Structure 1
């Protein structure tokens, strides 16, 4: 299935995790109450993917964070920033993708027509966090930030990962955390230090992903 999750409302980052806030928030005394009152973003993503992994999962978080920007510089003009990553030329022949390069090119052109500053990368071999870190340096408070990944994804040990193209050396799924990029870590980097006004994360992940020695859970 193609699954889309959209949330519009307040979001909050606390203790390394991201939360979506329900409207009954008057009883929260301080941020330590957040985990008890709000919905954990990673928990939502896990529920969407792990029980019945969809063909593609799109998560759009249109989160308002006015309390974080009260002391932001008023002279800073909000930007529209997009990071587009397309991985399709995988080392293992069974994992090669064909149509994904068109997805990246088409989306990049579309976003540029609506005044996004687009940074795109295709076929990242190993270190996917590096380009993401460089992109995050451009973000200032109040920005509209979009992250799009097209390629293979994998769920292992309660976490979701995006796979770089140099994957032929992975012997089994226990090596996925060493080779791939943790989705929650990416989301944290996009929002925790720079606090954009809106963060959109689109994961156009292809499944199944062939791995030599998957566990039963890895074949979901």
Structure 2
């Protein structure tokens, strides 16, 4: 991402105020360059900046909460006798619902829950505009950055084989369980249930980078 793109994103963000344009020429460009240099969160190569995502200090506690509770839930689901019912509860939809409601439970206990979009880790600039306008339900999507079926499948299989480990749940969720609030239009240009063949299985933001969709940390979640 070049500095011009970063400037454009800043102008779309809630941090921009028109007064900045009354400062010296290219003040925003220079300020962003200085902030990037000092933050240590961006890597520059051949004039292009790449974001280096640093861990959220509260994320460790959050993922621990999810992994402990999901482990207990999946162990109980494995005791279901009816094959049809068990198949549903160990599907991507069933386990995905467990993750969603555990996430909601976590943020309700923190007292920061303000609807599902307040729980997303990231939000796009355009989605952030809608979030402030009140046009939420029809314009925004709660989108898993890595399609959840890609890692839930492993958890379901391990559960059925009685080989499920809480440590493995923690590892998978730490790497892949990120949610971004996007617009309906942005959601339509993302691969919905898979990653492309270029994905290294390490970078959870690969789909967004390939689609050219930018995002930033969801302020609402930290309010």
TM-score, scaled relative to structure 1 = 0.28
- Structure with more helix by fraction: 2
Structure with bigger gyration radius: 2
- Structure with more strand by fraction: 1
